[in-house]
Amino acid sequence: MVDTLLSGQLLFAALVSGSLYALVALGLNLVYGTLRLLNIAHGDLVMIGAYVAFWLFTLLAVPPVVALVVAAVLCAVLGWAVYAGLFRRMLAKPALARRVEANSLILFYGISVILQNSAALAFTASPRAYRWLDTVITWGGVSMTLNRLLTLGVAAGLCLGVLAFLRFHLFGWGLRAVIQRREAAQVVGVNIERVQLATICAGFAVAGMAGVLVSMTEQITPFMGFPFTIVAFVVIIVGGLGNIGAGVLAGFALGLVETYGIALTSAGYRSILIYGIFVAVLMVRPEGLFTRAVRT
Amino acid sequence: MKRRTTLAGIALGALMAVAPLGTAWAADPIRIGYAIARTGIFAAAAPSQENPYALWQEQVNAAGGMELPGGERRPVEFVSYDDQSNPANTVRIYERLITQDKVDLLAAPWGTPMHLALAPVLQRYKFPMVGNTAASVQLRKVAPGYIWFVTSAIPDSMGAEMAAMLKANGMKSVAVLANELPYAQEFRSFLLPALKEQGIEVLVDQSYPPDAKDMTSLLVEVKGKSPDAVLALTYPADAFLFTGQARELGLASPFVLSLIGPTIDAYRKAFGGAADGIVSSAHWSGQSDMWPRGKAFFDAYVAKFGEEPDALDSAVTWMSMEILQQAVAKAGLDHEKLREAIATGTFDTINGPVKFDGVQNAMTPTGFVQIQNGKIELVWPPAIKTADFKPKQGW
């Protein structure tokens, strides 16, 4: 039992799922933080990324690493379209902006239904899958499928990259300023609209890239997105809404809790553990578990 | 008025031009209604049923239509709706199909809960329907009348057959990993006593939630116990998870079952040769020489959809339409005569002869398939097998 817990195998598994949780949640958190939009369609962007990877690979033999870029661009364009078409005017008018959080939930629900059904019409709902980079290597006694190792590398790299950008780049400072004190940021000259547009594009792009990673190991269907939406909300609420660094930490924490929690108890407790923590955090620290501990 | 007469004239002319070709297209189509999950949680599974419907319609119409007593043929037309994976919608839609759309026949929706919800509606309107994609011991409790169930993949007989198959292949110990969803749990509840009866030791018995994203810790435990057989009672989504991670860990058991999932075309595309040796639930194989109609169905399906039919859902769907077609040819569209014909007849299907005893298919044996060289081969029971079970050789 102790051997199992200390084995690198569990750590690897936990880090792979944790990095994916963190990445999926990152996009949602960015969009919520700067625009106060509850993007219920977030998981459907993961689905779009997965289909991009599948079709590029199946029809054109384009490897998923290239699909990462294509999916990011495509989802960023979608983000731009959603922002320009739906939210720019709402966010500009104070009266509408106050209600935008609640309204966005319904709007994005509609977008989610449209995306799912468009995908079902375009590609049929039949599950899809492909094989790429599925060699298993063993390193230090830990067996790793290469595409899972790549998932860990890309997801963790992207999370760290975004965090570094927020910390060290001027635009990143502006973005954090918008998250923390929107009006004050405006007063000191941050171009709110530009930050919002860039953030929604980045948030959508990150979700699309997560979809490419997911597509390497899961079946792809038009309705695969919703569980990712749920996971992303759990992660950002546990971490702290709008707190980007805390969200990333919470994503990894969730991966660890899932894998080690199951190892210590039983698989049947998985949901109880995760949602138990979720509810406990909401009751005890509604501002999020890591809000003070981590500064972005 | 004049314009309408002209149009009618053109239509009549067109009909007369077609009529000498010997088709019966002038006849009213036979309208067949169904609802299916095009959206919602079951939507990804439903194409394995809706595709056979489309293929069946195409073939029947190409042959001049559905045959009625006396040899008359009428084209078939589907009237279909999305039930959004909600059994309450299924009930409303079938009531609408019967009372407002006034369809001539009904085809089945996707899924056990839908079939169960529909049984009383069919009873009330005395409208016969051959079910297909439903499998549960609950079905046995449905009062015989206007619904029948084609599948023999019912958990109680599956539990006994799985234990017998393990015994026959010399497996002495197993690990059971079961999804918490109903079909897997039902199977588990019949499997465990059957294993005990056969003297097979259960080393691990764990259930996991359907939204599990990582099974590593479970599989590490299983690997540590080195069971002869790993029985993963999966649904399609976690079949991918289980297989990918079992492969990563190099699970060495010679017998690996993944309950639902491996017969889906995408599963073999995802795992290729690594899926070879995986055992799954189905009682039909396109590879069988016993049922000549089966190979024709398999080839036509691949030609039309570019993927293989699901050996479970697509097969039972096709069987249900074969049964309906043969019953209509004998009894016509009158509901009572049709009910009588389905309830008492013996039908020639891609899975061999089918005859109903009450609501159940009394002829087709419960079976298991194994992926061998990328093909779905029936390996159990011996009477219908297309290949011998082969121990899984690595991943």
Q: Any idea what the CATH number is for the domain that residue B340 is in?
A: 3.40.50.2300
Is there a domain that residue B72 lies in?
yes
Class assignment of domain A12-130+139-284? mainly alpha
Q: Are residues B145 and B42 in the same domain?
A: yes
Residue type, B161: E
Mean pLDDT within B14-37: 68
Q: A140: which DSSP letter?
A: T
Q: Are residues B94 and B212 in the same domain?
A: no
Name the pairing type of β-strands B229-233 and B255-258: parallel
- Copy the structure tokens of residue A171: 């635009």
Nearest Cα neighbor of B232 from B176, B185, B157, B182 is B176
* B chain contacts of residue A255, beta-carbon cutoff 8 Å: 214
pLDDT digits 0-9 by tens, A38-93? 999 999 999 999 999 999 999 999 999 999 999 999 999 999 999 999 998 888 88
**Is B323 within 8 Å of B349 (Cβ atoms)?**
yes
Rounded-to-integer distance, Cα B113 and Cα B139, Å:
10
Give just the sign of the alpha carbon dihedral B61, B347, B369, B34: positive
Of A148-152, A273-277, B128-132, B175-179, the poorest mean pLDDT is in: A273-277
Give just the sign of the alpha carbon dihedral A183, A188, A192, A198: negative
pLDDT digits 0-9 by tens, B68-84? 999 999 999 999 999 99
> What is the residue extent of each domain of chain A?
12-130+139-284
Q: Are residues B238 and B378 in the same domain?
A: yes
pLDDT digits 0-9 by tens, B99-156? 999 999 999 999 999 999 999 999 999 999 999 999 999 998 998 999 999 999 999 9
pLDDT at A292 over 80: no
Is there a domain that residue B372 lies in?
yes
Residue type, B22: G
Q: What is the 3-state secondary structure (H, E, C) of chain A?
A: CHHHHHCHHHHHHHHHHHHHHHHHHHHHHHHHHHHCCCCCCHHHHHHHHHHHHHHHHHHHCCCHHHHHHHHHHHHHHHHHHHHHHHHHHHHHCHHHHHHHHHHHHHHHHHHHHHHHHHHHHHHCCCCECCCCCCCEEEECCEEEEHHHHHHHHHHHHHHHHHHHHHHHCHHHHHHHHHHHCHHHHHHCCCCHHHHHHHHHHHHHHHHHHHHHHHHCCCCECCCCCHHHHHHHHHHHHHHCCCCHHHHHHHHHHHHHHHHHHHHHCCHHHHHHHHHHHHHHHHHHCCCCCCCCCCCC
Rounded-to-integer distance, Cα B151 and Cα B115, Å:
13
Q: Could you give the ipTM of this predicted complex?
A: 0.94
Rounded-to-integer distance, Cα B378 and Cα A13, Å:
35
Find the closest chain B residue to A116 by CA distance.
B39
Of B41, B220, B245, which has the smallest distance from its Cβ to A223's Cβ?
B41
Q: What is the pTM of this model?
A: 0.92
Q: Are residues B119 and B227 in the same domain?
A: no
Q: Are residues B236 and B320 in the same domain?
A: no
Nearest Cα neighbor of B270 from B295, B303, B294, B236 is B236
- Coil, strand, or helix at residue B106? strand
Q: Are residues B195 and B96 in the same domain?
A: no
Q: B149: which DSSP letter?
A: E
* B chain contacts of residue A130, beta-carbon cutoff 8 Å: 269-270
- Structural domain of residue B175, as residue ranges? 155-281+367-384
CB atoms within 10 A of CB B320: 28
pLDDT at B19 over 90: no
Place of tokens 């930490």: A249
pLDDT at B269 over 70: yes
Cis omega (within 30 of 0) for bond into B381: yes
Interface of B with A in 147-206 (CB under 8 A): 177, 180, 206
pLDDT, greater one: A107 or B26: A107
Rounded-to-integer distance, Cα A182 and Cα A93, Å:
14
Q: Are residues B244 and B377 in the same domain?
A: yes
pLDDT digits 0-9 by tens, B230-252? 999 999 989 999 999 999 999 99
* B chain contacts of residue A217, beta-carbon cutoff 8 Å: 240-241, 244
Q: Are residues B317 and B336 in the same domain?
A: yes
| Structure confidence at residue A1 (pLDDT) | 67
State percent of chain A over pLDDT 90.
81
Rounded-to-integer distance, Cα A74 and Cα A205, Å:
7
Q: Do B43 and A222 count as a contact with CB atoms less than 8 A apart?
A: yes
* B chain contacts of residue A134, beta-carbon cutoff 8 Å: 244, 247, 271, 274
Q: Are residues B164 and B232 in the same domain?
A: yes
Q: Are residues B182 and B227 in the same domain?
A: yes
Mutate to test the interface with A, among B185, B216, B276 (most CBs of A within 10 A): B216
Q: Are residues B248 and B376 in the same domain?
A: yes
Give the count of domains, chain B. Answer: 2
Is there a domain that residue B392 lies in?
no
Terminal-residue alpha carbon distance, chain B: 74
- Copy the structure tokens of residue B267: 């599963």
| Structure confidence at residue B14 (pLDDT) | 47
Q: Are residues B38 and B173 in the same domain?
A: no
Rounded-to-integer distance, Cα B196 and Cα B190, Å:
10
